[in-house]
Structure 1
Amino acid sequence: MFQRIVVLFFLIFLNSYVILASDPDPVQDFCISNMGAATKTDHCKNSSTATVEDFVFSGIKSSGKFGPTGLSAISVNSNTFPGLNTLGMSFVRADFEVGGVNVPHFHPRATEIAFVLEGKVYSGFIDTNNKIFAKVIEKGEVMVFPRGMVHFQMNVGDTPATILGSFNSQNPGLQRIPTAIFGSGIKDQLLEKAFGLNSKELSKLKKRFAPN
């Protein structure tokens, strides 16, 4: 009986912890990151010196540099936009060349909602039962990717595409599946057995997804 009570208490505690495991609510109007703070206790810029410019970000007026998959992604989080600090949200602009791909990836700390600004994008996610939810979304449509779910996008139109994504965390995190698997240093023997690869094939993948 005592063991059952202990287990029940543990489950209640764990459930409560998971429910509360999100960005904390702010306790002040705003806390603009003080990038030059000398100590952790001085991490907020003095509010009396704040200006409207602290709450405006102009870094996504145009696309950034495109990578080998035809994707350009500019993250707007508290590291690049200090005014977002403690507000529990962040943003991304993703541009796709024709045929461009945002490889399967996930955000461990946030749900994402993506708005198609231009183009036609094959977009979707996979749940924990390995069921896929995917379709082509076009200009003016939105799609949501639940927190922690692997998701992906590909420009299937004949013109460039742009997506604007919003997150319910100031630091959603990002893990790209190919890089996490083949670029993280997992032992070759494990990867060869897990994916049925020979050493030559594995070497090629590791070279392609090695950290820059």
Structure 2
Amino acid sequence: VFTQGRQGLDRGKGGLGLGLAIVRSLVELHGGTVAARSAGPGQGSEFTVRLPGADLAESAPDSQTPQPSAPAPFAPRRVLVVDDNEDAAETLKQSLEAAGHSVIVAHDGAAALRIVAEFSPDVAVLDIGLPVMDGYELARKLREHPSFRALPLIALTGYGSEADRSLAKAAGFSAHLVKPIAVDRLEALVLGLTREPRAGESASSSR
């Protein structure tokens, strides 16, 4: 469903492929299904969402039934998203905020370098195909800064060959994701690349 008509480091359009993945995750969370059907390019698409019905009487909580204890408090991460595609950046921002994280967006490398010192992110998600200063150069500049040498960096790219992964690693990236990306995979990386803060401590203070 989600394909980019033209892929390259200079591409200015195209999404992350997150939209339907977010819909599917939400629908499956409620025990439902989502299906897509299309007659072909230019013919439009039909999406069908099916959700189970609920018996209100059965779903009402029983005052005599012990309720499960509340889960441990979630420690949100501070995430910097850098993507020149405003729609893709906003979709990514919304998906991470829906998971409870604090997110700020920049649309080019220069803006990211201005923002990063003040925002002090716990992890940064960088699109490789940025204009003027691409994601590789931005990663290298962040690594040159004493405060961000250990900042986890996640690369977003349309290319997934071993050579591309090697380029990302050489530039200082901690992880390499190929579009379209899976929301759960990105969320796992955001949490996995940053240490769980202790109570009363922000994640950024661990660096």
TM-score by length of structure 1 reads: 0.26
User: Which protein shows a greater Rg?
Assistant: 1
TM-score (norm 2): 0.27
| Greater fraction helix | 2
